[in-house]
Structure 1
Amino acid sequence: MNICFSISEVNWSLTKDVISIFGTIAVVLIGIYGLSTWKKQLRGTSEYELAKKILVKSHQVAQAIQAVRSPMLFLNKEEVDAGNRLKEEQRIYDERLKNLSSEWAELATLKLEAKIIWSSPAEQAFGDLESLVRKIRSEIWLHFWLKGAYKSGGATVDNNPERVAANDAIVYLISDDDDFSQKIYAAVTKIELYFQCKVRST
């Protein structure tokens, strides 16, 4: 009778150990599955946030380009009266370009993050807008060169009417339908086409 009791006790002990092992394995598997799911959700959330930031910032860069092109100049009357109109104009455009540079720097950081997550095609989506940022900077420099701002003694400036008109078409915002404006909106649309699906799919 005592021997039977001992065997039964051993069997129950073994059964408890087996149940405990299976329970532990189940908990570990559930934990791994939960961690995997959490990581996927976290990644999806972070990718969604990045795509959303890119979409917003690309529009802000476009607005900053258009702000540079605004024909409205609030000149300091004292500077103008003192014969410093050209320098005053340069000061205003410098401030506008600094704002554009700041906006673009933020988008460039997001572009780098996008490249890390989605590889080169994501980076290529920014190409047209980046080219337009460089273009407006160079055209503003040319604008003042054509006005003689950088002319040294004895130098001449080739400011023929066609060249000035071509520069003015970029430097001055005429309307949302002008050629350079359309290029800006097309560049932003290119970014939207790539990243909007990243927002929708998460």
Structure 2
Amino acid sequence: MLAAVVGAYVALRGLSTWNRQLKGGVEYDLTRRILKCTFRLREAIKGVRNPVIWGNEMPSPRENDAQRLTKEQLRHYGTANAYQKRWDKVTDVRSDLQTELLEAEVIWGRIIHEKFDPLFKLQNELFSSVHAYVAACNPDESEQARAAYQEIMQKRRDILYDLSSEVQDEFSQDISRAIETIELFLQPHLRK
């Protein structure tokens, strides 16, 4: 009888250890995926802020449409589409990240969203700046609307371009701090 009790105890301890290891493996994998998506988001945001727009980013309208557009309209068409392509990368990564965060919420609760809120607010700030810039450059907008968008841009901090070389600009520093907070929260889950 003693052997049966000892055997049952050992079996329960083994199951408990196996369960902890399995949970730790799941958390490790999820943490790694979340960090990977977070770093991809950082790089996509950097891509949006790149001050150089390459020719392959600026599509031309169809030939029939291009003939009807002025030089200023053609330039705006290319610029607007370049920013849209850049922003599409941010949107794709954000979508992947949202999926991972839903799984993380199941495991860790709502706190994971609180850790990402500062990063997402910075992303929204950049989106708003890009939108205002593209609208302010649109020759098809009225002078009043273009002036209003210019005024909006002047009231906000200048974050459209990342011109920093060795020292990060303020917006890049804010992004780095937001990601550092996320990393600090997730680090313990990488050690399991």
TM-score bracket, normalised by the shorter chain, equals: 0.7 to 0.9
Aligned mates of 1:110, 1:129 — CA distance in 2: 15
Residue 91 of structure 1 deviates from its aligned partner by: 1.1
What are the within-5 Å matches in structure 2 for residues 109-120 of structure 1?
109-120=99-110
Deviations 1:63-98 (A, max 9, x none): 110101111111368839963111111111111111
1:198 aligns with 2:178: no
The gaps in structure 1 that reach 5 residues or longer are 1-17
1:178 aligns to what?
A: 169
2:21 aligns to what?
A: 41
1:146 is aligned, of 136, 151, 174, to 136
Equivalent residues, number: 180
Aligned residue type for 1:38? W
SS in structure 2 at match of 1:102: helix
Change (3 A) 1:115 1:33: same
Tell whether the 8 Å contact from 1:114 to 1:122 is kept in structure 2 after alignment.
yes
Aligned residue type for 2:168? D
Residue 146 of structure 1 deviates from its aligned partner by: 1.1
Tell whether the 8 Å contact from 2:34 to 2:100 is kept in structure 1 after alignment.
yes
Q: Please, what TM-score do these two structures have when normalized by structure 2? A: 0.79
Aligned mates of 1:112, 1:163 — CA distance in 2: 35
What is the RMSD of the two structures over their aligned residues, measured on CA atoms?
2.8
Identify the range of structure 1 (169-178 vs 89-98) with the bigger mean alpha-carbon deviation: 169-178
1:32 aligns with 2:12: yes
Residue 197 of structure 1 deviates from its aligned partner by: 2.2
Aligned residue type for 1:65? I
SS in structure 1 at match of 2:52: coil
Tell whether the 8 Å contact from 1:129 to 1:187 is kept in structure 2 after alignment.
yes
Tell whether the 8 Å contact from 1:55 to 1:192 is kept in structure 2 after alignment.
yes
Tell whether the 8 Å contact from 1:144 to 1:150 is kept in structure 2 after alignment.
no
Tell whether the 8 Å contact from 2:40 to 2:93 is kept in structure 1 after alignment.
yes
The structure with the largest alpha-carbon Rg is 1
Tell whether the 8 Å contact from 1:145 to 1:151 is kept in structure 2 after alignment.
yes
1:137 aligns to what?
A: 127
2:97 aligns to what?
A: 107
Aligned residue type for 2:109? S
Percent identical across equivalent pairs?
Answer: 27
Tell whether the 8 Å contact from 2:115 to 2:181 is kept in structure 1 after alignment.
yes
Aligned mates of 1:24, 1:85 — CA distance in 2: 82
Residue 134 of structure 1 deviates from its aligned partner by: 1.6
What are the within-5 Å matches in structure 2 for residues 13-24 of structure 1?
none
Aligned mates of 1:87, 1:158 — CA distance in 2: 19
